Structure 1
Amino acid sequence: MPRESRSMCDISYGRRRGVMPCLVIMLWAFPVVFNDTLHGKIGCRITRGLVSDTYNLGVHMLLGDIIRWHGHKTPSRIALISEGREITFGSLLGRVNQVANAMSAFCSPGDRVAILAENIPEYVECYYGVPDAGLALNFLNYRLHPKEWSWIMKNAEARVLLVQEKFLEALQPELADIPTLEHIIVIGSGTSQYPSYHDVVGAASVDAVDREVDVDSTAWLLYTSGTTGFPKGAMVTHRNLMVAVMNSVIEYEIQPDERTLIAFPLCHVSGYSVPLTHFRGGRVVLFPMFEPELWMKEVDKHGITGTSMAPTMLNFILEHPKVLDYKLTSLRGIGYGAAAMPVEVLRAAIKRFGPIVYSGFGMTELGGNVLTFPKRDHERAINGDEHLLLSCGTPMVMAEVKVVDENMVECPPGVVGELVVRGEQVLKGYFNNEEGTRKAFDDGWFHSGDMAKRDEEGFFYIVDRMKDMILTGGENVYSREVEEVLYTHPSVSEAAVIGLPDP
């Protein structure tokens, strides 16, 4: 398909034009319909973000407004499924309110509440409930070492820890090292020393917490992987999250009948898929731990329409001996990310599932994706324009993206530079890290640390991480380009290229 014939896609070096009418409709359809149908019964005021039985409009929306909207409008609609348990929007709203009230009793506005858990319903309750209390939810990756959990909580100055029972024993020796930690609540049975989450939250009021929350206050505090040193705490605000959600709803054409299978850990950046799905009234199916055949069973059992995976996860499914034994026909979209996708794996995925795969470019600091490479462009790629299979797409409607040199001068097409991003979904800064924040921003532009180039049509291509670029013989060698060559060999399933000093 010629690029010019695509809708909403006039590219001008990282900015789309001619899309604002559609964008305004999408931004305001959600709250305006609510205002027309329920105004007077529940109320509809614009403040800085007043929680209570109050709904905030458009860019004034808080993260929890997603659940308040559907909890009142369609309370019996299923919002969440976990290990056979179905939870409606009405029930979820009650639990979100209880979490907000319970945490408000322990914390002051702006405090951090850490959570260490797997993909369980309580995590989703806290996604919305903790920010509704004017607090920041601090995600802990359960795959890290206990000392890393401790370091993150110390840096975040966490005041409350919500910890799944299975992780408590490993974490126990580290708890005394966190001076700000005042309350430890166990998601499970609880102990003689620590109360149970279900007791604490269950005793709280189901009425909405009456608290004013700034839309530019931190809702989620996510720590980066630390590939360039110690992890940094990305402060993602309500506004960042809502713009990211609206951006993705537009770009990925999310539907009300969406059924999203969460295969990544909820502590991962892919957790953005939860509010994205809920925004449209879709249901989220939690996947406790990725296993290829179980994934296929869950897709057919629940009629899953969309999911996201890392390239290795997708490859495990494609190479599974029973991959043809399951229908998997309900799938409308498979997003991939978290690592570079080998072209051979991508071809195999399109052959098995059809042209339903999509991708983009994003990171923790960017509220999800800012570049999108949708299904229609994948279809174009496999029908002749195969060079596009290496692309991560074009800028999303509410993001500005460009490639610059070391002086912040925009690079012409085909020239490699650093990818920089600007927009309302970009984090407001790093917690307790003024130097990191200062280095990350230049006149409002966020430095991604990724080397990239764009072509004449406006497609962007990630070449390498700046730190992974290999200097040899005075030339720049990009590891991904070498890895792509290795992947063409039928005996290679994983490849990683690094530079070593020449003795």
Structure 2
Amino acid sequence: MLKNHPEYVAAYYGVPAAGMALVFLDYRLSPREVALNLDDSAPTVLITELKYLETARRAMADVPSIRTLVCLDGPADGALSWADLLGDDVDPPAVDEHEPAWLIYTSGTTGRAKGAVLTHRNVVAAVMNSLISWEHDHDPGVALMPWPLCHIAGYGVPMAHLKGDVLVLLRRYDAVGFLEAVQTHRVRQTSVAPTMLAMLLRHPRFPEFDVSSLRRISYGSAPMPAAVLREAMAALPEVRFQTGFGMTELAGNVISHGSDDHVRALESDESLLTSVGKPQYLTAVRIVDPDGDDTPDDEVGELVIRGDQVCAGYWNRPDATAEATHGGWFHSGDLARRDSRGYYYIVDRKKDMILTGGENVYSREVEEVLHQHPDVAAAAVVGQPDEVWGELVVAVLEARDGHTVTSESVREFCRGHLAGYKIPRRVVVVPELPRTTSGKVGKPELRRLVAVQEEVVS
């Protein structure tokens, strides 16, 4: 339970090498949520830092399996220091490749978080799949890791090391810290969430920093608004952009979209800006209908995946494992389509699709339009139960600094871009959208917000 530390990287390798599984804990969780994840995984060792020591002690009181507490940054009663763990070299035990290496809890957006069991083989397969499928500079360079290491994006750490890159860690992401790191360490490549990229571009101090060393930016974790991507490509003309699709249960990415396609999108085919690309070399990907049959081109279905990097299942959840892997394929819960050229597009999460008046509304399509509104900094769309329509389309928006957003201007803007039933019936303006550690918008929290604030929704 740490922010980003060099010791966290050591634990990435050292814990699995010792024949144990490393459980990633989101440091932003409440003590109750931490205790739930620890109670479920039943670890024997808990590694933390002074900032979270009290949370760790409270969690330990409820989790009898924990016998050892380690505190990185200072002496603490009843806790070992990191140095206490470092002794003489020992021969590591023989570890089967199908044993758990990492245990990462999903965000729990559909209820209690589930622990995805990633074996040694899963992690290695994911790293190798991306190394041979993504574009990379041939010579080692400097890579910046702005993601929290408790997120699956951390699989980029062994990727960077296998390429021989120097890895720069941000303790936690903030726009100025990111820009300072790029300037100081002459960072050549990095990976960001769309939210991170938008915060960089729109920060008032962005022009002050020398980011000329940057040559490649990968992005993912959440849909990238096309408007933000266009802005980034214009502001950073020397940077090659690429993206992909992945999730915790897949130990990394399984679809990727290269920089040449990004350039082609700006020059002649803007539809490619919303694509996640084509399947990587070491995974099989399909889009299926409710009966499990392949969908025709341009028809929406569920994305399913098969390959060595698919997790071994959910910890202590045979029911959830069986549901996610029926038919021999991992069912992602993402709605997607494939065009005639083989490019894939993520349309929505199944649970986020809105059914209004008998019509399907995919939230990402509406969000793409809202992000083009000149007064909108960020947008998310959710459904709100309604006795007449089934669900109403509700837009929750952040305004740009110094701008005002009104429901009338939003609806008027949407009329020129969306069918009438897709236009938000309600508009809520908030100071900041709720986001997870990885930068994803918390849709369940938004639905709760919309429900309790209905009386002030315009």
TM-score category, normalised to shorter length: 0.7 to 0.9
For 1:321, the aligned partner's letter is P
Kept in 1, the 8 Å contact 2:135–2:258? The answer is no
State the match for 2:370 in structure 1. 486
Aligned-partner Cα distance in 2 for 1:366–1:493: 31
Structure 2: distance between partners of 1:258 and 1:368: 22
Task: Encode CA deviations 1:325-348: one digit per residue, 9 max, x unaligned.
Answer: 323122121111121111100000
C-alpha distance in structure 1 between counterparts of 2:10 and 2:384, whole Å: 47
Q: Establish whether residue 218 from structure 1 lines up as the match of residue 103 from structure 2.
A: no
Alignment counterpart, residue 172 of structure 2, candidates 289, 301, 318: 289
Query: Once the two structures are superposed, what CA deviation does each residue of 1:116-161 show, in whole Å capped at 9, x if it has no partner?
Result: 1111111011000000011100000001111111110110011111
Q: Which residue of 2 aligns with 1:144?
A: 29
2:264 and 2:343 map into 1 onto residues whose CA distance is 13
Give the Cα separation in 1 of the matches to 2:121 and 2:58. 37
Q: Does 1:278 align with 2:161?
A: yes
What is the Cα deviation at residue 256 of structure 1? 4.3
Runs of 4+ deviating beyond 6 Å: none
CA contact (8 A) 2:48 2:56 kept: no
Residue 201 (structure 1) shift: 1.6
> For residues 447-466 of structure 1, what are the structure 2 equivalents within 5 Å?
447-466=331-350
1:271-301 deviation digits (Å, cap 9, x = unpaired)? 1110000011111101112221221121121
Q: State the identity as a percent.
A: 46
Paired residues of 2:47 and 2:71 also in contact (CA < 8 A)? yes
Task: Tell me what 2:6 maps to.
Answer: 121
Pair 1:324-2:210 in alignment: no
Q: Tell me what 1:477 maps to.
A: 361
Contact 2:192/2:217 (8 A) holds in 1? yes
Please tell me whether residue 360 in structure 1 is matched to residue 249 in structure 2: no
- Highest RCO, 1 vs 2 (Cα 8 Å, sep ≥ 6): 1
Deviates more, 1:247-256 or 1:448-457: 247-256
Task: Give the distance between the partners of 1:475 and 1:495, measured in 2 at CA.
Answer: 22
TM-fit CA distance, 1:454: 0.5
Q: 1:467 aligns with which of 347, 351, 358?
A: 351
Distance 1:413 1:215 in 2: 37
1:257 Cα deviation (Å)? 1.2
Deviations 1:401-447 (A, max 9, x none): 11001111010101000000011111111111100110010232100
Deviations along 1:440-490, one digit per CA (max 9) or x if unpaired, are 102321000000000001111101000000111111111111111111111
Structure 1, unmatched stretches of 5+, are 1-115
- Asked if the contact 2:17–2:95 (Cα under 8 Å) also holds between the matched residues in 1, the reply is yes
Secondary structure in 2 matching 1:130: helix
Number of the residue aligned with 2:269? 385
Secondary structure of the equivalent of 2:98? coil
1:249 aligns with 2:134: no
CA–CA distance in structure 2, aligned partners of residues 502 and 161 of structure 1: 46
1:234 maps to a residue whose letter is A
Q: 2:104 is aligned with what amino acid? A: L
Structure 1: distance between partners of 2:247 and 2:370: 26
The answer (yes or no) to whether the contact 2:221–2:245 under 8 Å persists in 1 is no
Alpha-carbon distance in structure 1 between the residues aligned to 2:102 and 2:75: 25
Question: CA 1:292–1:210 in 2, change beyond 3 Å: closer, same or farther?
Answer: closer
Distance 2:229 2:12 in 1: 32
Structure 2 contact 364–381 (Cα < 8 Å) conserved: yes
State the TM-score, normalizing by the size of structure 2.
0.82
Please name the residue that 2:297 is paired with: 413
Matches within 5 A, 1:55-74: none
Counterpart residue number, 1:156:
41
Q: Choose which of 135, 150, 160 in structure 2 pairs with 1:267.
A: 150
- Structure 2 unmatched runs, 5+: 388-458
1:230 maps onto 2:112 in alignment: yes
Please give the residue correspondences for 1:17-166 in structure 2 after superposition, counting only pairs within 5 Å: 116-166=1-51
| Pairs aligned (count) | 385
Aligned to 2:224, which of 341, 350, 370? 341
Task: State the alpha-carbon separation in 1 of the partners of residues 77 and 17 from structure 2.
Answer: 29
8 Å CA contact retained: 1:334, 1:356: yes
Which residue number corresponds to residue 310 of structure 1? 193
Distance in 1 separating the partners of 2:208 and 2:153: 28
1:133/1:209 contact within 8 Å kept:
no
Q: Give the aligned CA root-mean-square deviation in angstroms.
A: 1.3
**Aligned residue number for residue 185 of structure 1:** 70
- So what's the TM-score if we normalise by structure 1? 0.75
Structure 1 residue 374: deviation in Å? 1.2
Shift of 1:208: 4.5
